[in-house]
Amino acid sequence: MARLIDRRDALARLSHFTGGLSALAFTNQTIRAQAQSPEFAPTIPGPDPAPRAPTFRASPLTCDTHCHIFGPVAQYPYAATRPYTPPEAPLPAFKALHARIGVERAVIVNATTYGRDNRVILDAIAQSNGRYRGIGNVDERMTDRELEALAAGGLDGCRFTFISRLGGRPDMDAFDRLVLRIAPLGWHVDLYLEAALLDELVPRLEALPVPYVIDHMGLVDASAGLEQPGFKKLLALLARDEKCWVKITGPERVSRTGPPFHDAVPFARKLVATAPRRVLWGTDWPHPNVPFMPNDGDLMDLVPMYAPDEHTRRLLLVENPARLFRFRS
């Protein structure tokens, strides 16, 4: 598997990144705040500072269903115990990126760097005039009233990670109890896991009382081909369980050849063809912990390769996210 970008690369890319901040509408104030806070010194690179305008023109109300906001750390400090420290990628940069590539709606996924603190996404949603929804970080210590407040603030689900570098799998008994508590909110669960785990997890997933969304195409290995066992298990689950959704995100995580990530396209196309009404597209901006840093214009230009006809593209980009994330008409 391609290596993650290491600290030396992170610092080099950060220098390039801050040189192009105007393209992403960063402010000098947010950069100074992070530079003056050694405990928040980035350990990974930021996104490509010059996203190109894509050739593909997305439909009105296109939704980026998987993206993050980081900082400003002076206002939204990262958790003291966190698996990595990203450069700031605050709301102005987030808006500028979406304007550049033709995205009008977004689902902001709170990252593990924030622990249970969901303020960064709640505040963005509150300013969005209905254009943003969110996926939060929760645990059993939260009261029902706190969970209800998150739902009232625009969250539609909560995320669980099963990735070792992000802390490993959750306590599955606690997972089951929490799922029962969020079900009355109309939420779903967002699952960051490798498709190889599905052999073990499928019985539990099929028994869930809520929908579930598998991130980043199950992190399959593009070099292992469409017949790899994990991907076949993912396809079968998507085909038979109406509660199962898959995010067509993270080609830079699936690819083994690098940009423009065409080796990831057959996997996306197969998922889209299997359940065109239960797939979702997103950028994963600003791309934390990736083996290859993408240009987001390139990611948008992959969409017509994933979904060759206009009807399916509209499902992927507009109608499916509107239904799952309950966007107002």
3-state secondary structure of 233: helix
Q: Count the residues in the chain.
A: 329
Structure token digits, residue 116: 């249970």
* Alpha-carbon distance values, 254 to 44, 194, 220, 271, 276 (Å): 19, 11, 6, 14, 20
Question: Is pLDDT above 80 for 27?
Answer: no
pLDDT digits (tens, 9 = 90+) for 72-110: 999 999 999 999 999 999 999 999 999 999 999 999 999
| Each residue's pLDDT tens digit, 51-69 | 999 999 999 999 999 999 9
Classified as helix, coil or strand, 221 is: coil
Phi, psi angle pair for 189, to nearest 5° = -110, 135
Which of 6-10, 11-15, 181-185 is the least confident region?
Answer: 11-15
Tell me, yes or no, if 298 is annotated catalytic: no
Name, in order, each residue with C-beta under 8 angstroms of 261's C-beta and a sequence gap of 6 or more: 251, 252, 254, 255, 292, 294, 298, 299, 302
Which one of 156, 284, 296, 298 is the catalytic residue? 284
Integer Cα distance of 203 and 206 in angstroms: 5
Give the chain's domains with CATH numbers.
7-324 (3.20.20.140)
Q: Is the pLDDT of residue 25 over 70?
A: no
Tens of pLDDT, residue by residue over 290-317, are 999 999 999 999 999 999 999 999 999 9
The predicted pLDDT at position 165 comes to: 79
- CB burial class (10 A; 0-12, 13-18, 19+) of residue 6? exposed
Quick check: 237 pLDDT over 70?
A: yes
What is the average pLDDT value for the chain, to the nearest integer? 91
Euclidean distance between CA atoms 221 and 309, whole angstroms: 26
Question: 56 has which bridge partners?
Answer: none
